[in-house]
Amino acid sequence: MRHLILNADDFGYDPSVSRGIVEAMRQGLVSSTTMIVNGPTSAAAASDSAGLAIGLHLNLVCFTALTTGTPLDKPGVRSLTADFVERETHAQLDRLEALLGRPATHLDSHHHAHREPAVLSGLIRAAVRRGLPVRSVDPAMRAALRAAGLRTNDAFAGDAEDAAFWTPEEWHRQLEALPADGLIELMCHPGYAPSTVTSRYAAQREVELRTFTSPDARAALEARRLVLESWRIA
C-alpha cells in the first residue's frame, strides 16, 4: 500500500513563509508541515495553526538554542554533541507543544542537520523517548532510524537549491516516478518570500505555493488516485 505525505518545511521561520504554508495547507495540497520553534516569529505562526498537522523542524543552524541561549549557525552543527542535541530536541519539542497545545506529529531538521552523525544520534535518543517518527533522507539514515525502532519513510524526494524545485513540471515528473508502495515523503518549501529573514530560497517559495494551490496539480494527483496524508494518519 502506498502512503504519500507532502510536508512543507519552515513553518514559524518567517511570517510571510508561515502565511504561505497555511495557504498551501488550507487551500492547496500540502498535508503536513514542520515548525521552527526557536525563532522570533514562531509564536505568531502558532496563532493560525488550528487543525494543521505539525511536526518539529529541529533547528540547530540559526537563531538561538533554547537550552543555552547561545547563537546557532550552520558551520557549528559539526561541533555539536549528541548530548546537547538530545537536550535541545526535547526543549524544542516542549516549546512546540506549549505553542500549539498539542504534541509534534514527527521530527525532521532544518537544512537536514541530522545528516551529521552526532546530531542523528542525539535526535534518535529524543525520538525514541517521545515515540515520534523521523524523516529519513537517505538509505543509511533510514537504516539507523529503523535499528533504533523508529518509524520513518521508505522513500524521500525534495530539494531547495538555487531554482524552485516544485514546478508544475517537476510535480508531474515526481508523481510518475513514485514507488509502487511504502511511505513516501515529499519535502517542499511553499510560502511567500521572507519578510524578516534573509534566505536564498525566497521567490522560489512562491513558485512552489502556486504549484500546490493550482487546480492542475490537484487534478494530476486525483488522476493517479493518490491521497495525501500526514504523519499522524499514515
The one-digit pLDDT tens for each residue of the chain (234 residues) are 899 999 999 999 999 999 999 999 999 999 999 999 999 999 999 999 999 999 999 999 999 999 999 999 999 999 999 999 999 999 999 999 999 999 999 999 999 999 999 999 999 999 999 999 999 999 999 999 999 999 999 999 999 989 999 999 999 999 999 999 999 999 999 999 999 998 999 999 999 999 999 999 999 999 999 999 999 876
Write down the pLDDT at residue 117: 98
Map out the domains of the chain as residue ranges.
2-229
Q: Taking the complete model, does pTM exceed 0.95, yes or no?
A: yes
State the burial class of residue 150 (Cβ atoms within 10 Å of its Cβ: 0-12, 13-18, 19+). Answer: buried
Write down the pLDDT at residue 233: 77
Helix (H) or strand (E) holding 164, with range, is none
Looking at the domain 2-229, which fold is it? Answer: TIM Barrel (3.20.20)
Closest by CA position to 206, among listed 218, 215, 214:
214
DSSP 2-71: EEEEEEEEEETS-HHHHHHHHHHHHTSS--EEEE--SSTTHHHHHTT-TT--EEEEE--SSSB-TTT--B
